[in-house]
Amino acid sequence: MADSRASATPAADHPVYVIGGGPGGLAAAHALRARGIRAVVLEKSDAVGASWRRHYDRLRLHTTRRLSALPGLPMPRRFGRWVARDNVVRYLEKYAEVHALEIVTGVEVTRVERNPDGTWLLRATGGRELTAGAVVVATGYNHTPHIPDWPARDTFTGDLSHASAYRNPEPYAGRDVLVVGIGNTGAEIAVDLVEGGAKRVRLAVRTAPHIVRRSTAGWAAQYSAVLVRRLPVALVDRIARPMARLSVPDLSAHGLPRPTSGLYSRVNEGSIPVQDVGIIDAVRKGKVEIVAAVERFEDGKVVLADGSHVETDAVIAATGYQRALEGLLGHLDVLDERGKPVVHGARSPRNAPGLYFTGFTNPISGMFRELALDAEKIAKAVAHTGGVATRDAVTVQVRAAR
């Protein structure tokens, strides 16, 4: 879709509504406010950073503190280089406070429609109808947990849950656990289970991932990712191959062969490299056993792609998320065949000027860093179109509706 920034003409007496109070939504709201544009964040939960509050206990940012700050507020040095989940939440709360962001919680937007006069109509819980000069959708990359519809999965007599429900290994101590999926979440949960006393941990893998060291001799993997971000895919693939051989041992004998496709090619397909936070050692020492992908369930057992049957007490599905934007925006023809926005950042779809998206890509250079960059670009684009309400121009309708 073409960039339509110059064609958007939102009405001057309506604010920009930002849907979602996570890091992307907060960053966009601040960037708009810094340009004198009225921005109101609508968050369906009762606090900002809701998705971060639900993550597992041991989670840390895989990107450095310095390159993960949002516009206008550095992350405190006391948080350390790799910021823990609880400190990310504290930072988001502080960010909203320091920048005096206008946030309304407990309001879920269920549908976005285009008005004939160029403004936007947001339908929200409680029968609310809100008019916006422009809309920023920031509901998040990890929105709705997805568990594959494995045949006969309802016959499994053990515990079956999505990784989004996992908090810590305590409930799994002394138990046999199968983790499905070797993205960053699955790999880290597997390590957490081993360290937390699970009796046996197996990790079901369909496609062997690229694994990178989070940091080598003090050089964070993110630094390299930022440097190669704009280089040709084929060139980055060639550069990454010998680097991987030098830094990551061959785990083929343990069921994890080196990927045949290039690292950056896989990123463009939506597969981010797994950052090593203990998975390499756990696999080499046999503490995490690599098994084939899950195909179905049968007689209370898990049947794998190689035909083997696994008996286990619990299955944790680290099988990703869906964007779940169809109900909100599906009628606007702004999503691709996978349900992802056709544009992001400063661009609006040609047929939906004034509609912006942030946080729906999973960049190799770090999500928080890209959210910060997108926020500034979106604010600049909105300011360029003109006509949106300034901070003191309107009374925010949603407050009166609550």
Per-domain residue ranges of the chain: 5-143+323-401, 147-317
Across the range 136-154, mean pLDDT stands at: 92
CA distance 100 to 39: 11
Task: Answer yes or no: same fold for 5-143+323-401 and 147-317.
Answer: yes
Instruction: Give 62: exposed, middle or buried? Use CB within 10 Å, 0-12, 13-18, 19+.
Output: buried
Which two three-digit tokens encode residue 295? 């195909």
Say if CB 371 and CB 18 are below 8 A apart: no
- Separation of first and last alpha carbons in the chain: 37
In angstroms, the CA 387 to CA 10 distance is 6
Confidence band for 401, pLDDT divided at 50, 70 and 90: very low
The span from the CA of 127 to the CA of 398, in Å, is: 11
- pLDDT above 70 covers what percent of the chain? 93
5-143+323-401 belongs to CATH 3.50.50.60: yes
Cα separation, 44 vs 25, whole angstroms: 12
Judge whether 125 and 110 are in contact, CB under 8 Å: yes
Q: Pick the range with the lowest mean pLDDT from 20-29, 111-120, 390-399.
A: 390-399
pLDDT at position 171 over 80: yes
* Distance set, CA 163 to CA 12, 142, 180 (Å): 44, 12, 9
What pLDDT is stored for residue 14 in this prediction?
93
The answer to whether residues 43 and 104 touch, using CB atoms and an 8 Å cutoff, is yes
Nearest to 27 by CA among 145, 184, 140: 140
- Rounded distance between C-alpha atoms, residue 95 and residue 74, angstroms: 9
With tokens 């007490």, the residue in question is: 313
pLDDT at 148 exceeding the cut of 80: yes
Q: Rounded mean pLDDT of 335-350? A: 94
Q: Environment class of residue 44 by beta-carbon count within 10 Å: exposed (0-12), middle (13-18) or buried (19+)?
A: middle
Mean of per-residue pLDDT scores for the chain = 91
Closest by Cα among 326, 347, 333, 394 to 136: 347
Task: Report which residue type is found at 265.
Answer: S
Q: What is the pLDDT of residues 1-52, one digit of tens each?
A: 334 433 344 445 799 999 999 999 999 999 999 999 999 999 999 999 999 9
| pLDDT value of residue 387 | 54
Residue 102 pairs in a beta bridge with 40
Distance CA 269, CA 165 (A): 26
Reported as a pLDDT band with limits 50, 70 and 90, residue 391 is low
The CA angle 112-25-39, to the nearest 5 degrees, is 75
Radius of gyration of the chain (CA): 22
Q: Which CATH class is domain 147-317?
A: alpha beta
Confidence of residue 395 (pLDDT cuts 50, 70, 90): very low
pLDDT of residue 7: 37
Tens-digit pLDDT profile for residues 197-252? 999 999 999 999 999 999 988 999 999 999 998 899 999 999 999 999 999 999 99
User: Lowest-pLDDT range, 225-229, 256-260, 384-388?
Assistant: 384-388
Q: Which long-range contacts (CB under 8 A, 24 or more apart) does 75-84 make?
A: 81/220, 82/214, 84/59, 84/60
pLDDT at 389 over 60: yes
Residue-wise pLDDT for 95-104, tens only, equals 999 999 999 9
Structure tokens at 52: 């971060």
pLDDT at residue 78 in the model: 98
Whole-number pLDDT of residue 13:
74
Query: Which residue type is seen at 229?
Result: R
Kindly tell me if the per-residue pLDDT of 400 is higher than 80.
no
- List pLDDT tens digits, range 352-374: 999 999 999 888 899 999 999 99
| Beta carbons of 155 and 176 less than 8 angstroms apart | no
Given a cut of 50, whether residue 402 has pLDDT beyond it is: no
Distance CA 375, CA 341 (A): 16
DSSP state of 209: P
Closest CA to 133 of 154, 117, 147: 117
